[in-house]
Amino acid sequence: MKRGSKLLMAFACLALSGMSVVKSQVLVESVAAIVGNEVIYLSDIENRVADLKRNGDKTSVEDLRCTVLQEALISKLFLDQARIDSITVAESQVEGEVNARVNDAIRRAGSEKALEDYFHKGMVEISRDIKKALLDQEIIRQVQSKISEDLKVTPTDMKKFVSNIPKDSLPVIPAKVQISIVQLDPPNNEENKAEARQKLLDIRSQILAGKSFKVLAMLYSEDPGSASNGGELGLMMRGELEKPYADAAFSLTKNTVSKIVETKFGYHIIQLVEKNGDLINTRHILIKPKVKSDQATIAINRLDSIAAQIRKDSLKFTDAALRFSTHKDSRINGGLFVNSNPSNRDTWFTLDELNSEMFVKVRDLKVGEISDPFRTTDENGNIVFRIVKLDNEIPAHRANLKDDYENLYTAAMMNKRTKTYDDWIKKKIGITYIKISDEFKSCDFLKKGWLK
């Protein structure tokens, strides 16, 4: 039986269907099971099964019903324990997440009406069910945290954990590299930016004269993700958009067109399609500055000169990055390339995580070597020029305690938590009032102590 995040996600889906608590311990026709003071309604099981089938689950309906019931029973064991231990969660703790989940659900459905039709409920009920699901999720998390709070994995545990895994079953860790860069933006780029703005002004004038924004977006927009859809982005929350873009978009009225807006991706004009509370749907046309061949030559030659000085030891790579690089995120670290994801500021990359130009240059370098200058794109898709140095590498290998202790420790701790939860569930089943409807008695998992 899987635990952890899968358990919580499954329970969240069940709770969204509207489970509630009853004190009665007498089964009625609409009740699938009772666990302590917690009830699981038959309609919740059927709704969850139907939802899984709609999303393409190929498992038989009979097996799905058993799986969903099992997940719900385990969730209710944790919730019953929370009642015993007086563990509660204030609604204010999940209010922000509720709003985010509601907005995300509306965006995925396409509109509030589509979401209501999907769940056959009004928005008030949907919001209430999401809130209950999140509250229960947090309560379950706190109960699990209490159960596992004293768990530790010692070095001896680690050795035993790894030794019990067949060598050919240990995961293969892909090769990883640490790299540093010196980046130059195109010289005289203001001229390129002015030309991009002028092109966008001409397109905007055509729209104001009556031409279709959607058609012109398909013809001219340089956003590959939206151009084929007439520039339409779909419903998005303010926080998902660049601030200048969001500020301009939320100030528009329906079908009006913004002035030129600059973001790190380039220059945009925006048309409002729909606004729904904190969600907004816009079309946009993106134009990026174009780099001329003579500008590229100047940048390449400049980098070639910098690389030559570094190779002759007349200039340190770290000093070159600090003095010349335009890559703000790395120059302050002596050129060290860092993952741009704020939640994962790692300095190690698999080759597949690098863009194609970086991949080609890095794969042929030896540790300490510097590439020739090359043209590439930065994290925002803008044209830049770089040299790259291979600082360090770890070849592809089977996971081992020396090189992958942290990853294996996480796996060992997860394994220990799973066993702890399994043991707790078995004991909890034995001391908890549980009654299950006869129509589920054929589920195999019930033979493991659930039927009394």
Q: How far apart are CA 253 and CA 273, in angstroms?
A: 9
Token digits for 227? 């151009």
Residue 139 and residue 91 share a domain = yes
Give me the helix-helix angle, 42-54 and 61-84, nearest 10°.
130
- The verdict on residue 21 lying in a domain is yes
- Answer whether 272's CB lies under 8 Å from 252's CB: yes
Residue 31 and residue 139 share a domain = yes
Residue 119 and residue 70 share a domain = yes
Give CA separation, 156 vs 161, 167, 252, 403, 430, in Å. Answer: 9, 18, 63, 17, 32
pLDDT of residue 9: 45
Residue 180 and residue 56 share a domain = no
- What is the DSSP code (8-state) at residue 185? P
- Answer whether 425's CB lies under 8 Å from 77's CB: yes
Burial level of 199, CB count in 10 A (0-12/13-18/19+)?
A: middle
pLDDT of residue 344: 76
The pTM (predicted TM-score) of the whole model is 0.75
Our count of domains for the chain comes to 3
- The verdict on residue 437 lying in a domain is yes
pLDDT in tens, 216-225: 999 999 999 9
Q: Pick from 230, 258, 287: which residue ends a domain?
A: 287
Complete DSSP assignment for 47-89? HHHHHHHHTT--S-HHHHHHHHHHHHHHHHHHHHHHHHTT---
Rama region for 277: left / alpha / beta (φ>0; ψ in -120 to 50; rest): left
Residue 130 and residue 54 share a domain = yes
Q: How far apart are CA 230 and CA 219, in angstroms?
A: 9
Can you list the alpha helix ranges (DSSP code H) found in 152-292?
155-163, 189-208, 213-220, 243-250
- The verdict on residue 254 lying in a domain is yes
Q: Which residues contact 409 (CB under 8 A, 6 or more apart)?
A: 153, 158
Q: How far apart are CA 168 and CA 226, in angstroms?
A: 44
CATH code of the domain containing 346: 3.10.50.40
Per residue of the chain (452 residues), give pLDDT as tens. Answer: 344 444 444 444 544 444 333 434 445 558 999 999 999 999 999 989 998 998 899 999 999 999 999 999 999 999 999 999 999 999 999 999 999 999 989 988 888 999 999 888 999 999 999 999 999 999 999 999 999 999 999 999 999 999 999 999 999 999 999 999 999 999 999 999 999 999 999 999 999 999 999 999 999 999 999 999 999 999 999 989 999 999 999 999 999 999 999 999 999 999 999 998 889 999 999 999 999 999 999 999 999 999 999 999 999 999 999 999 999 999 999 999 998 877 777 899 999 999 999 999 999 999 999 999 999 999 999 999 999 999 999 999 999 999 899 999 999 999 999 999 999 999 999 999 999 999 999 999 999 999 97
- The verdict on residue 13 lying in a domain is yes
Residue 327 and residue 181 share a domain = yes
Question: Which of 390, 409, 386 minimizes the C-alpha distance to 399?
Answer: 409
Residue 262 and residue 278 share a domain = yes
pLDDT of residue 144: 97
- The verdict on residue 322 lying in a domain is yes
Domain span at residue 118 reads 4-153+410-447
Q: Pick from 243, 263, 287: which residue ends a domain?
A: 287
**Kind plus residue range of the DSSP H or E element containing 283:** strand 279-287
Question: Which of 159, 140, 162 minimizes the C-alpha distance to 424?
Answer: 140
Residue 102 and residue 84 share a domain = yes
Residue 344 and residue 235 share a domain = no
Q: How far apart are CA 101 and CA 186, in angstroms?
A: 42
- The verdict on residue 402 lying in a domain is no
CATH code of the domain containing 122: 1.10.4030.10
- The verdict on residue 161 lying in a domain is no
- The verdict on residue 384 lying in a domain is yes
Go through 62-83 and write b for each residue having 16 or more CB atoms within 10 A of its CB, e for each that does not.
Answer: eebbbbbbbbbbbbbbbbbbbe
Residue 40 and residue 107 share a domain = yes
pLDDT of residue 18: 41
Q: Which residues contact 226 (CB under 8 A, 6 or more apart)?
A: 217, 232, 233, 283, 284
Question: Which of 169, 167, 95, 165 minimizes the C-alpha distance to 131?
Answer: 95
- Residue 183: strand, helix, or coil: strand
- Residue 13: strand, helix, or coil: helix
Residue 140 and residue 27 share a domain = yes
Q: How far apart are CA 343 and CA 345, in angstroms?
A: 6
Residue 62 and residue 107 share a domain = yes
pLDDT of residue 433: 96
